Structure 1
Amino acid sequence: MSWMAWTLPTAIFVILIVSCIAVLTVMDVRSPPVTRKGFLPIPTDRGDRFYIAMLGLLAINLTWWGVTDASPLIGLTLSLIWLGVTMRWG
């Protein structure tokens, strides 16, 4: 990994995102996605909700880091709550 000068947290983040996409691919092959309408204003399937949740994770974390000096773990916790809510009820 030295050829990209990645840090360990960056590598873990990328590995987790790729793993999530692989899991979504396997889920789509085994069980085709069903489009439904939740609290989001558009009909979405699993992949759409995952993409929207990832954008939300980015926005929440960047906002948390930019606005407060509190622990980044609080921002991460809020992000994971957003991910769960979006994937379940989005």
Structure 2
Amino acid sequence: MLLGPPTFLHGYAKVANYYDFYSLRFVLAGGEKLKEEVRQIWQEKFGIRIFEGYGTTETAPVLSLNTPLFNKAGTVGRFLPGIEWQLTL
């Protein structure tokens, strides 16, 4: 498993060989929005789908996360189990 911000993942993808990440099963991105360019290069070069998470510094590192079953590009997935949330207007 590899965790990192998209900026780092993009840098790794630019210089890494395909075999550098052959044993990875999961790549989780957080800390900033995952750009489509980064998502595509990892899929094309390494055959790895990046899962994007979202959290705020004030609350938790990750509140929601894309998973293999619930993965939609451009979203941050569903809330993790045990996370209580409330929408107030």
TM range (shorter): under 0.3
What's the TM-score once normalised by structure 1's chain length?
0.27
Larger fraction in strand: 2
Larger fraction in helix: 1
Structure label with greater radius of gyration: 1
What's the TM-score once normalised by structure 2's chain length?
0.28
